[in-house]
Amino acid sequence: MKVPLPVRVMPSLAFRAWLTPPPLGSVTASRDRASVADLTQVFFGGVPGYETGSGPVALAVHGWGGRAAQMAPIARRLADAGYRVIVPDLPGRASGPETDIKQVAAALQAVIDDVGTPELVVGHSFASMVLRLVFRETAPDQVVLVAPALDVNDALEVFGNRLGLLPWARTGLRRRLESWDPALWPTLSHLHPMQLPGAEVLIVHDPGDEETPFARSAELAAIRPGTSIVAVDGAGHSRILSNPEALDQIVSHVTERAVSGESAA
């Protein structure tokens, strides 16, 4: 029996949509320009971005459909705490061209090759998966995951719900992703207790987050040594990046760890 055209085409269209970052509205773009006005715009390894502060290197990494400007509040707070904060504008940013996680990871690696291995990395949402690829063997001393996406299966479910994909289209998309890079899928699916080896990890997450499940973060905190979690009620998925309580928790955690590390030395 001949398969109707939409059934054959839809998974491929969904795959293209999966690789295409969402648009950025003009109002948001204007606000973003204002939010980074006090940061220094530079390139790191050919990747555009911003920096502020001086001291040990810290990276503030945006998620899929995010942008560097979202990370400006945490960059300022970390700069005040004594870090040189690098905020790259990576592939996958809002209104950017079609890309994939391997290209995002390669761009972040180029930044690290330029500025040196950071002592601290703060990653939002999808950045958690990117960090898993970049820091396969060893990770920075401190990693903060904000509203992290920890399992690609969760991301597929949210993506499918947003696009209203029927079950056959979801299955087709999943198969395309699995066959696109068979070695990559196991790395990004399910929880990995030994991911980010050597790092002390703090997870900051809103229990009501509708984009990335808090339960997954709590599970990782329970099974991964050296991992703690802080719940910030009502902070949302993206708004959490400028939430005062979340920022206080992050800065308090990293400064306490830095002091304890100096004492131990």
Determine how β-strand 142-146 pairs with β-strand 227-231. Answer: unpaired
Q: What is the pTM of this model?
A: 0.93
The identity of residue 247, as a single letter, is L
Asked if pLDDT for residue 261 goes beyond 80, the answer is no
CA distance 246 to 22: 25
Asked if pLDDT for residue 1 goes beyond 60, the answer is no
Asked if pLDDT for residue 82 goes beyond 60, the answer is yes
Task: Give the pLDDT confidence of 3-53 residue by residue, as tens digits.
Answer: 444 444 477 889 999 999 999 988 899 999 999 999 999 999 999 999 999
Asked if pLDDT for residue 258 goes beyond 80, the answer is no
Cα angle: 109, vertex 114, 115; to 5 degrees = 100
pLDDT at site 147: 98
Q: Identify any residues that bridge with 237 across adjacent strands, giving them in sequence order.
A: none
| Whether the Cβ atoms of residue 18 and residue 173 lie closer than 8 Å to each other | yes
Instruction: With both helix axes pointing from N to C terminus, report the angle between 101-115 and 127-134 in degrees, rounded to the nearest 10.
Output: 60
Q: Which domains does the chain have, with CATH numbers?
A: 5-264 (3.40.50.1820)
CA distance 199 to 222: 15
CA distance 159 to 152: 10
| Whether the Cβ atoms of residue 22 and residue 66 lie closer than 8 Å to each other | no
Q: 3-class SS at 85? A: strand
Chain-centroid distance of CA 89 in Å reads 12
Q: Is 137 exposed, middle or buried (0-12, 13-18, 19+ CB in 10 A)?
A: exposed
Range 138-144 average pLDDT:
97
Buried/exposed 85-121: b ≥16 CB within 10 Å, e otherwise: bbbbbbbbbbebeebbbeebbbbbbbbbeebeebbbb
Q: 3-class SS at 173? A: helix
